[in-house]
Amino acid sequence: MDSQSSVGRPVDGQSVATDSQWHAMTLEEIYESLESSSDGLSEDTAKRRLDRYGQNELELEDAVSPFRVFLEQLTSLLIWLLLLAAAIMVVVGQHLDAGLIVAVVFLITFFGFVQDYRAEQSITALRDLSTRDAIVIRDGEKVALDSRNVVPGDLVRITGGDIIPADGRVVSESNLDVDESPLTGESVAVTKSTAVLPKATPLAERRNMVYKDTIATSGAATVVVTDTGMDTEVGSIATALEAAAVQQTPFQIEMDRLAKTIALGVALAVGIVAAVEIFVGETDLLTIFLAAVSIAVAAVPEGMPAVVTLSLALGARRMAAKNALVRRLPIAEALGSVDVICTDKTGTLTEEEMTVQRLYAGGDVYEFADGESWLEQAALDDEPVHPLCVRDVLKCGLLCNDADIGRRESGDRSYLGEPTEVALFAAASKAGMNPLECRAAYPRLDELEFTSTRKRMTTVHRTPDGDAIAYVKGAPEVVLERCDRELIGGEVRELSTERRREITKHIETFAEDALRVLGFAYRPVEDTSSPASEAIENELVFLGLQGMLDPPRSEVPAAIDGCQEAGIDVTMITGDNPVTARAIGERIGVANETVLTGGDIEGMDEDELRAAVASTAIFARTTPEHKVRILQTLQELGHTVAMTGDGVNDAPAVKNANVGVSMGIRGTDVTEQASDIVLLDDNFATIHDAVREGRRIFDNVRKFVNYLLSGNAGLVLSIFTGSVAGLGLIITPLQVLWINLVTESAPALTMGIDPEAEDVMERPPRPIDEGVITDRILTSIVGIAVFMMVTILPLFYLHRSNLELAQTMVFTSLIVFEGVRIQAIRWRYELGVLSNPWLVVAVGVTFALQLVILYTPIGTLFGVTPLGAVHWLQIGVSVAVFVVLIGVFVRVQDRVFDRY
């Protein structure tokens, strides 16, 4: 896809060529246009450009607008209903009541605004937590910095496996191949060059350009950045994701359906009350109207959207503290249903940090322990050794190596380079070698680069005594094939056929133990006057082997065991070879009786694949297309799937998963935008923690939905029954508003931070079609409503001769009931009264506010009268009856329904 830009990018005040011309310019012209050089930018220049052009990221989401959040509060039908009621009261002369209703409406609106805005800010803040590093050259020195801080004119160092951070022109390259399929649709990696191309060259044929979020599959290159952020080619692809419809979760659909049901119920209840009072009773029209308003106010849980949103946002904060960034708040609902996690291997199940674990030299095998002084820890038959032959192999791995020590954006020194080479570099360092001194003592004279066809790399060095030596590393079988001698005990000996078989056997043993094996050799070089050729890679002296492992993360086995206890299957999908995948699976506890490869999948029809997917936990040598097919098959089998991904090509699988999970460290911007959750540490254990936190969040959402709806149902039923029974208005609209305000704010909100139930990860996943409101919760809502009605109406009836006192009794008893109902709901989760101190405080404050209304002049505004000891005793008896009824009802429920 060609860029449509026709305006040049201004760099530090001047306009330069458009991105469609970079491929047609010489490097000198590009450097001049970008005001850069072969030493890269200076730090000061880079900072100015970062301020001018902004960060190198995709900006797909609008910034939070307080005004928009405020306007959303006014879309509630309840708000307009209350304002209409206030206007009618003004017309009939009830100015004080009208003013108080407007005041309470303001408080409800303000509360909703604060909660929604805080939630929006939480998500905005969480989005900024993920980052990815890039190696750039600043002032002539390699620097590892946040890829978002890459600017036009930067020189970026790219090696095989890197995700390219920005669009750029290739300055120099060594067999660089790049997978550009997300942009061009070409499945074959593109080999890059530095040659100047004609202006009319289409994007798919621009061999001298690289593009943001494509992947370097092999080789290395230095690139000068031409475009960043939304100006890149992949930016146009990412923008298309913004237009994609975001699917509603079952929770959101359920809440929408619930709102419609409530609205219909309110209309029906109001119609019945009005008809009864008009045609049967003797109530005046104003009282009928107030009764209707009271029912509407009592029925609609106006605080629920804000409470749900903020509770999810607080949960997202907790998940972010555990390195799981939640991009869509309602995803907590889906997390509770996940029963299969499809995960990558490298970096997610493993450390993504290659370390040398085993070394073969001088005819012996040495095991290395993790530590800072490996040479002292090298062991042969459990005895520490200090063999010179070990140093020879390590020195070869250090010199025939492009890894280096540079600095990070923070200023800290660090290893920089491809993971395998960093492992060899670190192994030599930990063995006591000084890499800088060693490289200074053996300066590099020439090199033959590693390629996928050669499978080896050779460097030529000057020795301290003035001679020249070639060091070779590569695939062990390739290196061994080119050797005719070996170094044993400091002596060069002929490499016999028997010794070749023995070495080959060690290579196979290393591989079976999931080690990546490299072979090492050397030979003296007599003539250094001409460029090195492959001729110097013959007649080599074999030095030994180094076996490296990307070890499983220490916390992963326990996390997988926890998932399995929770009824969640774990499936490993990796591009690695089946032997390594099986070995890692054995170490972490993933079932591995069968390992399927991408080739196996391609040869299966749909029925065969369904059977295979149902019984296979490890897939190796897979592509993103295989991953999508596995996902779709699992979903067809009825599973709720969490799918991880990092590359641009993983975006479809991540986007279509029930819970899409992207990698925050090695993931691409596009995949992050397609995901629901970003793992800031790329760690599988974080997925396990996210599921645990998601279940806790959902439990809490379910609890306060139960709490809010049962209370509102009780109010509606009491008002409705009182009106139909001829008792009149048992509670005023203003009192109902107050109850909703104080009970749907702090108490409901603090339920959102309830601790998790002890069995939260012992239950099976919640079925995908099971909503927030289960049959048990629905019967609880109905039961609580009935029990509230039968215990409250007698209080009103007892004092019906004094309307103000009767309404005060109902008003106060409902406040007390709210606190009782909260704990009744929490008991089912085996949560003690003091397990959530904030909830205790919230209930206490609610009760204290009620006392203020009862025993201060404020009470006149609410039409209440102070209560005496007898009245409190009557309320206490009513509450006791309510508790007994609830207790009996729960026992009955336990016999009929599951616990939750």
CB-based contacts of 229: which residues, under 8 Å, 6+ apart? Answer: 53, 54, 55, 56, 57, 58, 59, 235
Q: How far is the C-alpha of 698 from the C-alpha of 312, rounded, in Å?
A: 9
Contact status, residue 728 vs residue 721, Cβ threshold 8 Å: no
Coil vs helix vs strand at 707: helix
CB-based contacts of 185: which residues, under 8 Å, 6+ apart? Answer: 204
* Structure token digits, residue 219: 């080789």
Q: How far is the C-alpha of 101 from the C-alpha of 861, rounded, in Å?
A: 11
Among residues 167, 179, 344, 646, the one annotated as catalytic is: 344
Phi, psi of 669 (to 5 degrees): -60, -40
SS3 content of the chain, % helix, strand, coil (to 5): 50, 20, 30
Contact status, residue 556 vs residue 529, Cβ threshold 8 Å: no
Contact status, residue 331 vs residue 693, Cβ threshold 8 Å: no
- List strand residue ranges (DSSP E) for 54-164, in order: 133-138, 141-146, 155-159
CA angle 132, 138, 141 (to 5 degrees): 100
Q: Note the Cα 616 to chain centre separation in Å.
A: 26
Contact status, residue 95 vs residue 277, Cβ threshold 8 Å: no
The residue behind tokens 């590693």 is 450
Cβ-based neighbour number of residue 727 at 10 Å: 17
Which of 839, 846, 827 has the alpha carbon at shortest distance from 894?
A: 827
The residue behind tokens 């993931």 is 667
Q: Are strands 618-620 and 364-367 parallel, antiparallel or unpaired?
A: unpaired
344 is catalytic: yes
Contact status, residue 117 vs residue 69, Cβ threshold 8 Å: yes
Which of 36, 59, 42, 50 has the alpha carbon at shortest distance from 168?
A: 36
Contact status, residue 299 vs residue 266, Cβ threshold 8 Å: yes
Contact status, residue 542 vs residue 485, Cβ threshold 8 Å: yes
Backbone φ/ψ region at 552: left (φ over 0), alpha (ψ -120 to 50), beta: beta
What is the set of active-site residues? Answer: 344
